[in-house]
Structure 1
Amino acid sequence: AVEAIGHGIRVNAVGSGDTVTSILNHIHADGPSALADYGKHAPIGRAARPEEIAKVIAFLASEEASFMVGSIAMADGGKSVVLPS
């Protein structure tokens, strides 16, 4: 991020949690259902919809985030702030 900012490039990341997509279909008969079920373990009680993660990405790419450099925007339903049990 620091190396790129001099070239007008802002580097940020999204730490996404379980998101209901078909990415697991090659290993699970119903990938979206499996992800939805697993997402119930997040503090928010559900998995994300793809558009929720897309909105975070769109924000980071927008001028509204023009001062953000080297940030990780956690969109994980609270999983990153819970201590492991």
Structure 2
Amino acid sequence: MIVALASVVLTGCLDDTPETGPVQTVDWYQAHDNERQATLEECSNNPAELKDDSNCINAREAERMLSSGEPRDIW
């Protein structure tokens, strides 16, 4: 039982998914152009490691929504 409890506790500690800071929403990124652009740049500089980062996903979605279908590469 102790081993099971220890493995559950350590699972959260060993999460190697990098987060770039406090998670911001898509709406927040739509309202904060400079921060969105900075986040997109950071994410594009390390796409393999940050592709699943919540801020990268939210910033990309905000950019996509703001582009309103304009054909442009956001990466």
TM-score strictly above 0.5? no
TM-score between both structures, scaled by the size of structure 1: 0.28
Judging by fraction of residues, say which structure has more strand.
Answer: 1
TM-score between both structures, scaled by the size of structure 2: 0.30
Judging by fraction of residues, say which structure has more helix.
Answer: 2
